[in-house]
Amino acid sequence: MSDLTAPATAGRRLSAALFRHPWLKLVLMLGPPLVWLLVVYLIALTLLLATSFWRLNVLTSQIEHVWGFTNYQTLIRDSVYRTIVVRTAGMAAAVTITDLILAVPIGYYMGRMASRRTRAILTLAVLLPLWSNYLVRMFSWKIVTAGGGPLESLLHVLGIDGSIAFSNWAVWLTFSYLWLPFAILPVFAAFERVPGSLMEASNDLGARGWVTFRRVVVPLVLPGLVAASIFTFSLTLGDYITPITVGNGYFIGNAIYNYVGTANNLPLAAAFALVPIVIMAVYLMLARRLGAFEAL
């Protein structure tokens, strides 16, 4: 009874308005993230796409707002860009495969075999490297793979002479290490979601361990594996710090960085930046087909 005569404070008036106009509630909730998505992301991407059609005036170093396909012609004509893309995409694929191979046993153990306590400890162990800075982890691998470093000594003991410093091997090792937590977690989540009853049922029907794994578990965790691969693939595709610090070859990011910084040739950089965007768009469409988005 006392509520009916309660004073109409600002808070009460606001809550009444929101109740009477549900669309206002929707706007207030979705508005900020949509604005962020639109302004910061989509419009920035659109400007990038627009810039890729413009040209750099060589004499004045200013961008000419003249529509044209010169940049795309350059990308197609010079074979070095194909080399860079193949090197980058190839490394991304190699790192993805490596991390998945490493993540599956760990994820399986964490998801299906570990006790609650062990699982918590392992989760902490997997996430612990992420507490330290990316640069710290990358530089430690630079030291490990450098000439005269621990890796070279280890290889020497195994009878392999020669240094892998500044080679693609070093870059591959570093990337595999950097993105491993991002690969393990979705795989672990996927394995955890497999109902134990299904595996028991498969056992009852006469399938032994490996057959159960192959025909029951793998199709169920495949979306999770694909989700994990999205992380490792896209992170490797766009990285430019590790290739130039731990390695020596140019990746897509290094070429773009060079064009933006050294040459101030933003149109060509923008055109080249669209290449990884297109690659990832194709990759994500395939991933969606395989159901990865439900597993994220």
Partner 1 sequence: MSKPRGVLAMLGVLMLLAAACGEDNGGSAGGGGGSGEQPEVFSYDENAQGEGALSLIAWPYYTEKGIVKPFEQETGCMVDVKYGNTSDEMVNLMRQQGGTAYDGVSASGDATLRLIAGGDVAAVDVDSFPGYENVMPSLQAPSHNTVDEVHYGVPYEWGPNVLMYNPDVVEPAPTSWEVAFEADSPYAGKVTAYDSPIYIADAAMYLKANQPDLGITDPYELSQDQFDAAIELLKQQSQLISKYWALYTEEIDGFESGDMVVGTAWPVNQNLILSDGKVPVESTTPEEGVTGWADTWMMSANAEHPVCMMKWMAYSLRDEVQSFTAVAFGATPSVTTACTQLEGDLADAYGKDIADEIYPVYHCGEDDYLSSIYLWKTPLPDCGDDRGQTCVDYSAWTTAWTEIRGAG
Give contact residues for partner 1 (rule: CB under 8 A). Answer: 42-43, 46-47, 49-50, 53-54, 56, 58, 60-63, 65, 67, 78, 80-81, 83-84, 146-149, 163, 165-166, 244, 248-250, 254-255, 258-259, 261-266
Which residues contact residue 258 at a Cβ distance below 8 angstroms, ignoring those fewer than 6 apart?
A: 250
Asked if 48 and 40 touch (Cβ cutoff 8 Å), the reply is no
Q: How far is the CB of 30 from partner 1 (least distance, A)?
A: 16
In angstroms, rounded to a whole number, what is the distance separating the alpha carbons of residues 70 and 272? 12
Q: Alpha-carbon distance 26 to 106, whole Å?
A: 42
Nearer to partner 1, 46 or 73 (CB): 46
Q: Is 169 exposed, middle or buried (0-12, 13-18, 19+ CB in 10 A)?
A: middle
Residue number, 14 or 30, with CB nearest to partner 1 = 30
Q: How far is the CB of 107 from partner 1 (least distance, A)?
A: 33
CB of 166 to partner 1, least distance (A): 4
Q: Which is nearer to partner 1, 142 or 202 (CB)?
A: 142
Of the pair 149, 291, the CB lying nearest partner 1 is at 149
In contact, 212 and 203? CB cutoff 8 Å: yes
Q: How far is the CB of 238 from partner 1 (least distance, A)?
A: 16
What is the nearest approach in angstroms of partner 1 to the Cβ of residue 137? 17
CB of 31 to partner 1, least distance (A): 18
Q: Which is nearer to partner 1, 19 or 41 (CB)?
A: 41
Q: Residue 165 contacts by C-beta under 8 Å, 6 or more apart in sequence?
A: 145, 146, 147, 149, 152
E strands within 119-221? none
> Kind of pairing, strands 55-56 and 63-64?
antiparallel
Task: Select 185 or 270, whichever has its Cβ closest to partner 1.
Answer: 270
